[in-house]
Amino acid sequence: MKLPINKIICGDCLEVMKDWPDNCVDLVLTDPPYGIGIANNPFRQKHEKSNWDDEVAPKEAFAEIFRVSKEQIIWGGNYFALPPSQGFFIWDKMQPENFSSSMCEKAWSSKQQPAKMFKKRVIEYLKYHPTQKPIELMIWCMKYFNNADLILDPFCGSGTTCVAAKMLGRRYIGIDISEKYCDIARKRLKGVRPNIFEKPKKKRARASFGFDRK
């Protein structure tokens, strides 16, 4: 079947992925609901209250993620029953010990490598979603999977994974059950220039013949 390349799909990821072939995407990079009710955290009051994070992502979703993808990075991996891995990605939020929320977050990874750490303060980026990750963090994650051309985020929220993929010149698919966040993701992606890290081509130097050409 034809995959919805470079699209944001509004729907239940289980329903969307069920007919996809095995290993059809190179990398899943996602941040599923942890089931800890973080959307209603009083420190996130600028976002409307909702119950999307009251229940943990179903185990069936992880079975589909592993079926359709070759590699995986799953944020909040410590909340889910995932296979043992040494390749954790850690986001150090550079917050004091008495900070109201966690000082860091962990992502489970299928990449068997020593754990890696990225440092960026929470307050340094614009947030469209209560659990949104920094674009720089997602770009950093993807760079450990240089051969991953097609990136899937089945819980894409406001689309940060897809934005990062487009910035790196990679293809993406985003899925989210909320029409509101799908709309936000689509609008964000419209404003992204692809391949922004591509080096500009050098202009060929003119040959000098000792006189000016008119």
CATH of region 7-190, choose from 3.40.50.150, 3.30.70.360, 3.40.50.1110, 3.40.1190.20: 3.40.50.150
Q: Tell me, what's the pLDDT at 127?
A: 83
The single-letter DSSP state of residue 96 is -
User: CB burial class (10 A; 0-12, 13-18, 19+) of residue 136?
Assistant: middle
Q: Tell me, what's the pLDDT at 170?
A: 97
Chain segment 24-34, per-residue pLDDT in tens: 999 999 999 98
Chain segment 69-104, per-residue pLDDT in tens: 999 999 998 899 999 999 999 999 998 887 667 899
What angle, 0 to 180 degrees and rounded to 10, lies between the N-to-C axes of helices 160-167 and 135-142?
Answer: 60
Chain segment 32-60, per-residue pLDDT in tens: 998 765 555 544 445 555 555 557 899 99
Q: Where are the domains positioned within the chain? A: 7-190
pTM for this one? 0.84
Q: Tell me, what's the pLDDT at 45?
A: 46
What is the C-alpha separation between 86 and 104, in angstroms, rounded?
Answer: 17
